[in-house]
Amino acid sequence: MSSNPLSVIMHPRSIVVAGASNNMMKMGAMHAMNLLYGGFRGDVLFLHPSEKNLLGRRAYASAAELPYVPDLALLVTPTRVTPGLMDELGARGVRHAIVVTAGFREMGPAGAQLEAELLAAAQRHGIRFVGPNCIGALNTHIGFNCTMIPYTDKPGRVGLISQSGTYVAQTIPYLREVGVRYSQAISVGNAANIDLVDCLEHLADDPETHAIAMYIEGVRDGRRFLAAARRIAPKKPLVALYVGGSAAGARSSLSHTGSLGRPDTLMDGIFAQAGIVRATTVDEMFGWANALANMPAPQGRRVAVLTHSGGPATSMADAIERIGLEMPEFSPPLQAKIRPFVAPTASAKNPVDLTFDLGNEGFTKRIPEVLFASDEVDAVLIHGMFDTGFALEVHKLVGGPAGVPEEDFVKPFMYDLEPLLQMPGNSGKPLVASNFLRVDHAAETFRDRGVPLFRTPEAAVRGLHALVQYGRLRERLSGAVEEHAEAPQGPRLESGVMNEFAAKRLLAAHGVPTANERLVETLDDALAAAAAIGFPVALKGLPAGVAHKTEAGLVHLNLRNKSGLQAAWKKIEKAAPGCPRLVAEMLAGSRELVVGMTRFPGFGPCVMLGVGGLFTETIRDTAFRAAPVGLADALSMLESLRLKKLYGPVRGLPPVDAELLARIIQAVGKLALAHPEIAEIDINPLIVVDGRPVAADALIVVE
């Protein structure tokens, strides 16, 4: 058995519930009733200081009286008694718990003190626990549900880890309706002991969980999270909804699970690096996880669209193009294979639009057979079919007045979907569907059999895109060579702002191309250096400890001749007498980047690539990755910039040497790992000279 405590917590054979009452409108009673009547086959014991009977069963007055040591304790007790109870349970031998009780860290300092006591009590006995301030957990494959909402659907394939209890329990009726089924779901609450990463590692090993959804308001141990996700993602798809990035979101989250918010852009980068598909809404999180749990990732971007309806076909085509997928027109041979199954007036080109054509086996069998078998198609999208949902509507008109019972009327409309359901598995290509009808044999069959079914054509396209994204992330991760964070440490650098020349020499030593430049002491040296480098040159003064030289009048660019250099020399002499000076070539390039490094709590050194130049701060087009950055990840950073096209072959300029840029990004990451005392690095601007990025200025701040 795994050493992960969740392997016991999520598979308990016996549970003791503390905090239940006979008032069925209290949370404790609801949680307990789910255990009693939710299909759980293990034993349930009750603990209560005064009640002798709870919900028709004997209640024990203390842990000591329990007839045996249960696998798991569920605590829904008043806050102040919880630490003491944990101690009592530990003394009886209990080693695993879920603490639903709230009122801890999320309530401020007094609550945080209580939470510390709770944790200390648990640690005294080696108890591992989920919570506090959580809603409980479910393992649908063993009927284990200790939340307060019943789970009445079949066991499923989607694992959920959530920092909000609402998204575990109150969404259950919603999930039943949209056809998303949990394998397991865990509300992590304040994560005083068992955290997000423990849950992730547990679900990674759960054979019933085929994809993992995460609702995240904040990540505390960023490096551990990243490492775990990178290990898991190539084998099991991960989807995350992250909402802790905005100021308002962070404030609200503080009042909720006490997590600290992380900047949104950092998490974008971390998710990309970890191989996590990022959802933007709750329904995307669930819908995409369901698609990923049930369908293979496509090998390419070419989508075939099959429908009866022109409007949805156009909506899908539009959404496909916007999101960066492709809906290629089929080759004449492929069209010829489809043609026999569509009306003469219908389109076989892609979208295949059968128009109003009832009861056509072509739609559900013959055409899909052709599409799934074709090497022109990577994925199939279906919108709508005239199955029983349509028939039910029509029956209201023609069946009712004609006196035909609904059931008889509807029956001929029941498509045999079995062949279609086999095609994704047989071909390795995904099938994704949308349908405006919910009460419908086809819709119900899709939901039941794991065909991702979205409500609108656009949502189906986005769901398919999540599969494409996962395929790409997996490919990048699989190709990536692991680089170790434990780089050899360099000799400690002196504290303070390193001067530009020294900073660039350090970067150059790590392989960053820098401008041709010389440190000079006299004007004659400067003139000689300029002659050797060739005009125009830049002259910069480098007094110790100045981070922003331009503002201090210490930077003079584009000096075209001796007299210009002499004039600049004098100005620097006036601004900072006797300071070291740098004569540097003027780099000629119209495109600029910025590469930098900063440290985030929990994530350590993170490297940034951004659009550079005068307006870097205004444009705010950046990508982050945690160091060390693998080559594939570094390459992906340029791809993730909104204005990435700037750095392609534009207006006669060569594309940026992406591999060299990636090496620079990697070098900055390695430098930060080798020198934990470096707080920040800025290479700004990194000027693109004939496609080659060269550091024109650099700043390194040492703590």
Please identify which residue in 126, 174, 299, 418 interacts with its own copies, judged by CB under 8 A: 174
Give me the least distance between CB of 171 and its own copies, in Å please: 5
Choose between 274 and 320: whose C-beta lies nearer to its own copies.
320
Indicate which single residue of 5, 28, 245, 269 sits in contact with its own copies (rule: CB under 8 A).
245
Structure tokens at 6: 């969740």
Quickly tell me which residue has 């085929």 as its tokens.
210
Is 455 a residue that touches its own copies (CB under 8 A)? yes
Please check whether residue 500 is in contact with residue 541, taking contact to mean a CB–CB distance below 8 angstroms: no
Give the separation between CA 20 and CA 17, rounded to whole angstroms.
7
Cβ distance to its own copies smaller for residue 346 or 423 = 346
9/158 Cα distance (integer angstroms):
18
Q: How far is the CB of 333 from its own copies (least distance, A)?
A: 20
Question: Under DSSP, is residue 154 helix (H, G, I), strand (E, B) or coil?
Answer: coil
DSSP 8-state symbol, 656: P
> Looking at 112, 227, 358, 487, which residue binds its own copies (CB under 8 A)?
358
For its own copies, the binding residue among 67, 154, 643, 655 (CB under 8 A) is: 643
Q: What is the DSSP letter of 347?
A: B
The structure tokens listed for 517 are: 């430049």
**Hey, what are 131's tokens?**
């919570």
List, edge to edge, every strand of the sheet that includes 352-353: 352-353, 303-307, 379-383, 431-434, 453-454
3-class DSSP assignment, residue 88: helix
**Shortest CB 118 distance to its own copies, Å:** 17
Query: How many residues are present in the chain?
Result: 703
Q: Which of residues 173, 332, 553, 578 is near its own copies by CB under 8 A?
A: 173
Of 373-381, 570-578, 640-648, 662-670, the window that binds its own copies (rule: CB under 8 A) is: 640-648
Among 119, 211, 243, 420, binds its own copies (CB under 8 A): 243
Orientation of helix 658-674 relative to helix 631-639, angle to 10° = 120
Answer yes or no whether residue 247 interacts with its own copies by CB under 8 A.
yes
Stretch that binds its own copies, among 202-210, 290-298, 343-351, 369-377 (CB under 8 A): 343-351
Least CB distance to its own copies at residue 472 (A): 21
Q: Does 345 bind its own copies (CB under 8 A)?
A: yes
The distance of closest approach from Cβ of residue 475 to its own copies in the complex, given in angstroms and rounded to an integer, is 25
Structure tokens at 342: 């569509």
699 binds its own copies (CB under 8 A): no
CA angle 266, 270, 272 (to 5 degrees): 120
Which residue from 217, 212, 274 is spatially nearest to 244, judged by alpha carbons? 217
Return d(Cα 672, Cα 166) in angstroms, integer: 40
Rounded-to-integer distance, Cα 599 and Cα 610, Å: 16
**Degrees, nearest 5: CA angle 32-38-44:** 45
Evaluate the omega torsion of the peptide bond into residue 601 and state whether it is cis, within 30 degrees of 0. Answer: no
> Strand, coil or helix: what is 298?
coil
> Which of 123, 299, 426, 590 is in the footprint of its own copies by CB under 8 A?
590
233 belongs to the binding site for its own copies (CB under 8 A): no
Out of 321, 407, 482, 690, the only residue in the binding site for its own copies (CB under 8 A) is: 321
Q: What backbone phi and psi angles, to 5 degrees, belong to 43?
A: -90, 145
Phi, psi of 686 (to 5 degrees): -105, 100
Stretch touching its own copies by CB under 8 A, among 309-317, 372-380, 416-424, 667-675 = 309-317
Q: What are the beta bridge partners of residue 543?
A: none
Using CB under 8 A, which residues numbered 460 to 519 contact its own copies?
Answer: none
Tell me how far, at minimum, the Cβ of 364 lies from its own copies, in Å. 17
Q: Does 12 bind its own copies (CB under 8 A)?
A: no
* Helix, strand, coil percentages, rounded to 5, for the chain: 40, 20, 40
Question: In 3D, which of 69, 58, 80 has the Cα closest to residue 14?
Answer: 69
* Least Å from the CB of residue 500 to its own copies: 20
Nearer to its own copies, 104 or 501 (CB): 104
- Interaction of residue 457 with its own copies, rule CB under 8 A: yes
Q: Is the peptide bond before 580 cis (omega within 30 degrees of 0)?
A: no
53 is a contact residue toward its own copies (CB under 8 A)? no
Contact status: 437 vs its own copies (CB under 8 A):
yes
Whether cis (ω within 30° of 0) applies to the bond prior to 536 is yes
With CB under 8 A as the contact rule, the residue among 7, 62, 252, 566 that binds its own copies is 252
Count CA atoms closer than 13 A to 459's CA, side-chain side: 20
Q: Is 456 in the site for its own copies (CB under 8 A)?
A: yes
Tell me which of 248, 486, 524, 545 binds its own copies, using CB under 8 A: 248
Site for its own copies, residues 360 to 389, rule: CB under 8 A: 384, 389
User: Cα(526)–Cα(220) distance, rounded to whole angstroms?
Assistant: 51
Indicate whether 167 belongs to the interface with its own copies (CB under 8 A): yes
Only segment of 1-9, 197-205, 318-326, 369-377 that touches its own copies (CB under 8 A): 318-326
Q: Is 574 among the residues that bind its own copies (CB under 8 A)?
A: no
Contact with its own copies (CB under 8 A): which of 28, 90, 159, 351?
Answer: 351
What backbone torsions phi and psi does residue 531 show, to the nearest 5 degrees? -65, -40
Binding of its own copies by 561 (CB under 8 A): no
Q: How far is the CB of 324 from its own copies (least distance, A)?
A: 11
> Which window, 45-53, 63-71, 236-244, 482-490, contacts its own copies (CB under 8 A)?
236-244
Tell whether residue 25 is a contact of its own copies (CB under 8 A).
Answer: yes
How many residues of this chain bind its own copies (CB under 8 A)? 105
Q: Does 535 bind its own copies (CB under 8 A)?
A: no
Residue 462: C-alpha distances to residues 304, 468, 481 (Å): 15, 10, 30
Coil vs helix vs strand at 637 = helix
Position 658 contacts its own copies (CB under 8 A): no
Question: Of residues 3, 50, 563, 618, which one binds its own copies by CB under 8 A?
Answer: 618
Stretch that binds its own copies, among 320-328, 498-506, 656-664, 671-679 (CB under 8 A): 320-328
Here the tokens at position 384 are 């709508």
Residue 53 or 166 having the CB closest to its own copies? 166
Of residues 646, 681, 688, 694, which one binds its own copies by CB under 8 A? Answer: 646
**Part of the chain binding its own copies (CB under 8 A), chosen from 350-358, 372-380, 624-632, 691-699:** 350-358
* Options 118-126, 167-175, 471-479, 674-682: segment touching its own copies (CB under 8 A): 167-175
Measured CA to CA, the distance from residue 83 to residue 122 in angstroms comes to 8
Pick the piece of the chain touching its own copies (CB under 8 A) from 113-121, 247-255, 535-543, 662-670.
247-255
- Report 94-123 residues binding its own copies (CB under 8 A): 102-103, 107
**Interface with its own copies, residue 403, by CB under 8 A:** no
Q: Quick one: tokens of 556? A: 């003079």
DSSP 491-555: PPPPSEEEPHHHHHHHHHHTT--B--EEEESSHHHHHHHHHHH-SSEEEEE--TT-S-TGGGT-E
CA angle 132, 138, 142 (to 5 degrees): 140
In the set 41, 397, 488, 491, which binds its own copies (CB under 8 A)? 397
Q: Does 682 bind its own copies (CB under 8 A)?
A: no
Least distance to its own copies, CB of residue 551, Å: 9
